[in-house]
Amino acid sequence: MSDRIDRRSFLARGAATGAGIAAIGTSGGLLAACSSGSGSSKSATATHPSGISTSTPKPGGQLIFGVEAEDTSFDPTWGTFDTTGIMYARTVFDPLAAVAADGSVQPYLAESITPNADYTVWTITMRPNVHFHDNTPCDAAAVAYNFSAQKASGLTGPAVTTIDTITVTSPLVVTVTMKSPWVPFDFYLAGGIGGQIAFIAAPSMLKDPQHAGKPVGTGPFVYEVWNPNDHFTATKNPHYWRPGFPYLDSITYKPIPDGSQLLASLMSGSVDIIHTSMPTVTSSLRADTSLGYIDDSVHVAGEPDMNCLLLNLSQPPFNNLKVRQAAAMAVNSALYTQVIDKGISPTSNGPFVSGSPYFAPTGYPTPDPAKAKQLVQQVRQETGKPVSVTIDHTPDASTTKIAEFLQQQLNTVGMQVTLSPVQQGKQINTALSGTFEAQAWRQFGAIDPDLNYIFWSPTNINPVFSINMARNTDPAMEAALIQGRQSPAQADRTAAYQKVGRLMGSDIPYIWTGRAVWSCGAQPKVQNFANPTTPSGAKAFPFITGAVWPTQIWIGS
C-alpha cells in the first residue's frame, strides 16, 4: 500500500509543522448517497459468514481486535483519527450522527439535526438524560464546548472555518451559524474518517491536561487502560443510554502493523477479528471461507481511499502540463493493480468510483507509452534538459515496491527517475512545504467530497505551508468546490463534483494508480460485526474505510 500520509501521521506532524494550519483527516466527509464502487470479481463473500446474525445475542465475553496501526490520542480536537482512531472513538464516544445503510445521515447521539432553508443555520437537539462516563450531562453546553474546542484547534479548526457562531439556545439545543451556506455539514457529524468533530467528549476530559490518553465519552464502553503500540482496553458501560447495548464485557484493540503478523494472529486465535487494507491479507481472508468476512470492494459509503502519485505543480518538472500528461500516459493503472495489489484493488482514473453519483468520465489520459515518449522528447527539446523526476517514498518494503514500479513505468517513456527514501515524518513536512517533486501517496477516502475541500481548494496554497499539497491553482476548481458545498439541490452537487473529476483529469495533480480496498475477517464465534443499527432501529452502514461498530458485536459458542 502507499504511504498512509492521509491518516494519523499527516495530521499530527503536519499541524505541528504548519503552526496549526492543518485539517481534520485527509479523507474528509460523506457522500449524499451510498455508492457501489467498481468491484473485484474475487470478493466472493457469499461463501463466508457475513458478519450479520439474527440469533439471540449472547451477552458477555471479551473481544480482541487486531488493527493495522496505532493512533496518537483520544482527543477529538487533536487526535489524528485514522481508521483505528475511529474504532477507538466508537468504543468510548458516540457520534452526533451516523450514516444509514441507504447513505443518509441519521441522528445518533443527537435527537435531531436540522438546517434552516438556506443551510446557514443548523440546529442540533440533544437527547435528554444522556450522561458521560463521569456522570456529567451530555447536553447542549457540552456539545457547544466541544465545537468551540474544535474551532480553536490548530488541527481541526481549518476544516470548520465556515462556522461563525456556536450558541446554546436551550439546555438541549445548540445553534450553529455559518458564514455561508454549508449543505453537507451534517455529514461531518456522522463520525467517519475525517469527521472526528462528530465525537463528543466530556468537557472535563478536554479541560484535563492529561486527557489525551484518558477518554471520557458517552460510548458503549468505558476506558480502562491504554499502552500505546501494545493494547487499548475498554469495559462495558453499565449505564449506556442505548438499552441492551453493548453485549461484550470488554474489548481490547491490539495494533499489529505487519500484515503477515496481523493475519497470523487471527489464524492462531490470539486475536478474534482484524481489519486490513493490505491486498495480500485480504486475498488470504477471502480464501478461507470459515472466517466471517466483509470488504468494501463493491459497497462503498462514498469515495474510498485512492492510491496515487502526488505531484508538485509549483516546481519542475511537474509545473509543465506536458510532463504531467506524459506521466499519466506512462503509468498503467490496470498493470499496477495486478503487480502491486494482486488484483484485489480496482483501477482508478479519478477521485470517484463507478456507482457514485459523482462518477463520470474525467478525460484523464489513457495509457499510451508511445505518446508519452513523444511528449517527453518535446519537453526535452523545448527546455534543453532531460526530464528528471525524484519520487519520495517511505523506506518500508511495500512502499519501496510501489516506488520501483512507478520508476520503471516513467523510465520506459524517457524520464530519468530517482527514488528518494524519506522517513514518513519528514515526508509529511515536505508535502506541506512543497519541497518535493512527487510522492507515493494515498488519500481522499470520504463519505462526502466536501471534506476534501481543504485539500483541493486553491485557497489553501501559500508559499510556506499548503494543505493543498499538489498546489493546483486552477480557479475553476474553487468554483466547483463552492458549488458542491453551497448548492442544496443534489443535481447541482452532482454536476459540481463531476466537474471536479474532469478538472483533475485535465490538470493532472495526481497520477492515479488504484483504489484501496479494506476488508475485515473474524473468527466464526464473532457475531454481528457487520450489522449496526441507529438508535431508531434503522440499519447503519456497516463498514466504512475499515471501521466497524463494536456496539452490537457478541461472542458465540
> What is the pLDDT, as a whole number, of residue 41?
35
> What is the pLDDT, as a whole number, of residue 302?
83
Question: What does the block give as the cell for 525?
Answer: 464465534
> What is the pLDDT, as a whole number, of residue 19?
37
DSSP-assigned letter for residue 96: S
CA–CA distance, 92 with 273 (Å, rounded to integer): 19
Helix 321-330 with 369-383: angle, nearest 10 deg: 150
Helix 397-412 with 321-330: angle, nearest 10 deg: 110
> What is the pLDDT, as a whole number, of residue 273?
98
Nearest 10 degrees: CA dihedral of 79, 82, 87, 92?
A: 10
DSSP, collapsed to helix, strand or coil, labels residue 516 as coil
pLDDT along the chain (557 residues), means of 10: 41 40 30 34 62 94 96 87 92 97 95 98 98 98 97 88 97 98 96 84 89 89 96 98 98 95 97 95 95 91 90 98 98 95 90 90 97 98 97 92 97 98 86 95 90 92 90 98 97 97 98 94 97 96 94 95
Contact (CB, 8 A) for 327 and 335: no
CA–CA distance, 98 with 360 (Å, rounded to integer): 27
DSSP-assigned letter for residue 5: T
> What is the pLDDT, as a whole number, of residue 46?
54
CA–CA distance, 328 with 504 (Å, rounded to integer): 12
CA–CA distance, 154 with 78 (Å, rounded to integer): 8
DSSP, collapsed to helix, strand or coil, labels residue 76 as coil
Q: Give the other-Cβ count within 10 Å of 188's Cβ.
A: 28
> What is the pLDDT, as a whole number, of residue 239?
97
Contact (CB, 8 A) for 521 and 67: no
CA–CA distance, 467 with 454 (Å, rounded to integer): 7
Contact (CB, 8 A) for 235 and 224: yes
Contact (CB, 8 A) for 522 and 51: yes
User: How buried is residue 70: exposed, middle or buried, by Cβ count under 10 Å (0-12/13-18/19+)?
Assistant: buried
Question: What does the block give as the cell for 445?
Answer: 477516502
> What is the pLDDT, as a whole number, of residue 137?
98
Helix 259-268 with 279-287: angle, nearest 10 deg: 20
Half-sphere exposure of 433 (CA within 13 A, CB side): 13
The structural domains of the chain, ordered by start, are: 56-299+518-555 (3.40.190.10), 306-515 (3.10.105.10)
Instruction: Provide the sign of the torsion angle of the four alpha carbons 380, 383, 388, 390, taken in this order.
Output: negative
Nearest CA to 324 among 513, 509, 514?
Answer: 509
